[in-house]
Chains A and B, each alone.
Chain A
Amino acid sequence: MLDPREINARLERILLTVQKPGRYTGGELNQVVKDWDSVTTRVALVFPDLYDIGVPNLGLAILYDLLNRRADTLAERAYCPWSDMESAMRAAQIPLYALESKHALADFDIIGFSLPYETLYTNLLNCLDLAGLPVLSAEREASHPLVIAGGHAAFNPEPMAPFVDAFVIGEGEEVMHEIVDVFQAWKRRGTARIDLLHALARVGGVYVPALYTASYRPDGTLSALAPNGPEAPALITKRLVAELPAPVTQFLVPNVDVVHNRVAIEIMRGCTRGCRFCHAGMITRPVRERPVEQVLQAIQSALAATGYEEVGLLSLSSSDYTNIVELVQGVSARFKGQNLSVSLPSLRIDSFSVSLMDELKELRPGGGFTLAPEAASERMRRTINKFVTTQQLLDTARDIYSHGWTTIKLYFMIGHPLESLDDVQAIADLCRAVLAEGRKVIGRKAKVNAGVSTFIPKPHTPFQWVACDTMESIGEKLALLKSTLRDPAIKLTWSEPDVTLLEAWLSRGDRRMSAVIYHAWRNGAKFDAWQEHFNIQTWYAAFAAEGLDPNFYSHRQRGLDEVLPWDHISSGVRKSYLLQDYQWSQDLRFREDCREQCFACGILPGFSDMRAGLPDDAWKCPPVKRKKRIPA
């Protein structure tokens, strides 16, 4: 492999020929450059999308921070080069390199990929290939880096099983250290690569796909996915941290524009709302909050360290943060007059949210107000368990317009198999009704932005058994919205049905899907989340070549007794709970916020030892009668 000096020399010759060369140089404020020879373990953290998307990713920022705090380890970064840079690199025979030291990725001990969404899968293959590494795990040897991956998409690792040596399921803050420790111990032993894989399989929350075999029934469904030997557990349960550690504040500050230029502070992890379509809401339980003072301190340190002019307070449901009023008042009092804008996403649809935003208004010049009703008819609201009455939404809208906002952004979801055209018509009617409220208050200035996404039945959610809506039906529903929402004051945006379809295949796939991914990548699929690259025909061709039916994955109602490709991965939420919730959805039965009442999703018994050592309010699960702990 080329050394950093040679990589730098070759980069000199190509950087001025590509768009935005600042993506490929490193050297940003707050990057951590350690002496390569001063550590025993070197980790390359890769976000397999463009720099502009990867830099703001909070997950990798956390791992970068915690690995670089270890004296014996260094962590550097790499992203996917855009196609102009990729061509230039291939022509100049420059391997994918890490930005800090310009070492080739192949020189690292561990390569860790972040997989927050499925449309990055082909990019992961492309990154390995650009790094000069075999893309198949089975073809890599002891001299090659260990390739690991984690993130929300890893909760169904099967489609990527042959390419990744080990998956991390759940939160990485603690298990990342354990993986480095296991790696170092293996290095000292100097044994074969399989010995490392066995040792990793014994780490809680780590899934080593090579140690499992999938078998199928004649109808193509799984009959089992079982460990090959005693080293590998039959069920891999996600990792979680008992309490959220102090947030990252030394954010990297890129010199070129990226998608989010801001300080991002996670105020809360998990959600108690139980929306049935929401993957994140199911897999990030239980709810843990950061103390107000810790958040305020973190904002202050991060602003001083970065000079950013924007702060994002992240969570799945801001209004549910216990001390939200105190937090908002604290932010407002401490940072007023600093020309700062503060965003508070995922607000509940009620006047309380309007008063919260009002408090922050001075810190948020020009922003719109976003609400996510998701559905517009009572039947669909009950089906998806997001119950907001139309009256409540209209009252909130009126409140928002009368507090000075002129635009309301509304997010909706179409494509649930139980949804009819009447339910979609209700979305259009609701948008018009919201606009009418605005016109009453502020006249012609009132605007509505309606964003419509397409439902994907995600693994580990109560809808994991259901089929995707047909392409014809989605087309009809979108056409209805486009034709009814023609008012110039209403801006309609929607997700491309083809991209949604790919996400459905990849998120619901089994191990055989890997052949399709490999084939599609070989035929040029990459950057599938980008319109200018995505080509659905490449994927249809890949399915055909591998003899698999795409509809089998996306458009088939799965049997309730079927072995699902992700059944060996546990999010801590029991399958029986998901099944019950699925049945409730069919009965149009609403489930309350579980802060009020525990519905026994499985988190508390599954992590009872962890919970037992914590203060009562560390998790926002209500008190339940505790069973006597079984001594270990």
Chain B
Amino acid sequence: MSDIVAPAAPEAALTRVRVTFGKVDTMRFVGNLDMHTVWERTLRRAALPLAYTKGFNPRPRFQIAASLPMGATSQCEILDIWMENPPAADEIAARLARSAPPGLLVIAAQVVPLQSPAMQTRLLSAEYEVLLPTDAPDQPELERRIVELQSAASLPRTWRGKAYDLRPLVEEIVLVEASPARLRLRLSAREGATGRPEEVLAALQLDPLSGQVQRHRLIFRED
């Protein structure tokens, strides 16, 4: 396997592969920092020809597009991996799926242009669906609170000791279904301006830990 690592290899020999993945079951309790390690080991087990970063402590080159709030599930996460002379995308997806730990779903893989900008910088918003518990307020009350939130000029809140305004981060709130109550949230996900679903729930005077949060869609700026 000594041929798989060539830190000095020219960039041209690289292939960039975009993987769509999901996080379900116990994996949703794994934080973003740990997800990097989970992916690193999955990539090693899959024995794909990874490209490594240069330097003192070489790491496989990959990037996760967006961090997912702890506890949320998703089927739309994006990961870019750099490889050297990899097999076809379908084969990559199959190998990753076999190597993934329980709760990490590999949905698709495709080759993307090497030069396309980092996904993190293109990310605009994220869409979530929140299933509320059966004891949630009824439809008129929920709708009243949503209108109230949307009409507020600002929503001052504190996250990890830092004051911020939640209002500009909330792009859309829709009550999709009344019983059981299901909300759709579209929140800003730009760098340095990321809305958190549990913060929106709190602003709606709902128990932020009681809803089942699923991320459905990441919305990116076109190149």
Contacts and interface: CB of A to CB of B under 8 A. Distances in A.
Interface string B1-35: 11111000000000000000000011101110110
25 contacts: A15-B71, A16-B29, A16-B70, A22-B26, A22-B29, A253-B101, A255-B30, A255-B34, A256-B34, A257-B34, A303-B44, A304-B45, A305-B45, A306-B45, A307-B40, A307-B42, A307-B43, A307-B44, A308-B44, A336-B2, A337-B5, A338-B1, A338-B4, A339-B5, A339-B52
Contacts of A305: 45
Interface string A68-95: 0000000000000000000000000000
Contacts, number: 85
B25 A27 contact: yes
A366 interface: yes
Given A13-B209, A15-B71, A17-B209, A27 B40 contact: no
Given A29-B101, A337-B2, A365-B57, 15 more contacts: A16-B209, A20-B31, A25-B29, A27-B101, A27-B102, A255-B26, A255-B38, A255-B101, A256-B30, A256-B31, A304-B45, A306-B41, A307-B40, A307-B41, A307-B42
A261 interface: yes
B103 interface: yes
Nearest to B41: A307
Given A21-B70, A339-B58, A366-B57, A27 B41 contact: no
B34 A22 contact: yes
Closest 4 interchain pairs by CB?
A27-B26, A307-B41, A337-B2, A307-B44
B63 interface: no
Interface string A227-258: 00000000000000000000000000101110
A304 B103 CA distance: 19
Interface in B51-73: 52, 56-58, 60, 70-71
A29 B102 contact: yes
Interface of A: 13, 15-17, 20-22, 24-29, 253, 255-257, 261, 303-309, 336-339, 365-366
A629 B102 CA distance: 54
A538 to B, nearest CB: 33
Given A22-B26, A336-B2, A257 B209 contact: no
Given A27-B27, A337-B4, A365 B41 contact: no
A307 B50 CA distance: 13
Contacts of A21: 29, 70-71
B151 interface: no
Contact of A261 (B3, B37, B42, B44): B37
Contact of B56 (A28, A261, A366): A366
Nearest to A30: B101
B30 A22 contact: yes
Nearest to A308: B41
B87 to A, nearest CB: 18
A358 B127 CA distance: 53
A587 to B, nearest CB: 50
Contacts of B210: 13
A257 B209 CA distance: 24
B99 interface: yes
Which of the listed residues B2, B42, B44, B56 has the most CB atoms from chain A within 10 Å of its own CB?
Answer: B44
Contacts of B25: 27
Contacts of B37: 257, 261
Name, among A24, A255, A261, A304, the residue most crowded by chain B CB atoms within 10 Å (CB to CB).
A255
Given A27-B25, A29-B102, A255-B38, A22 B31 contact: yes
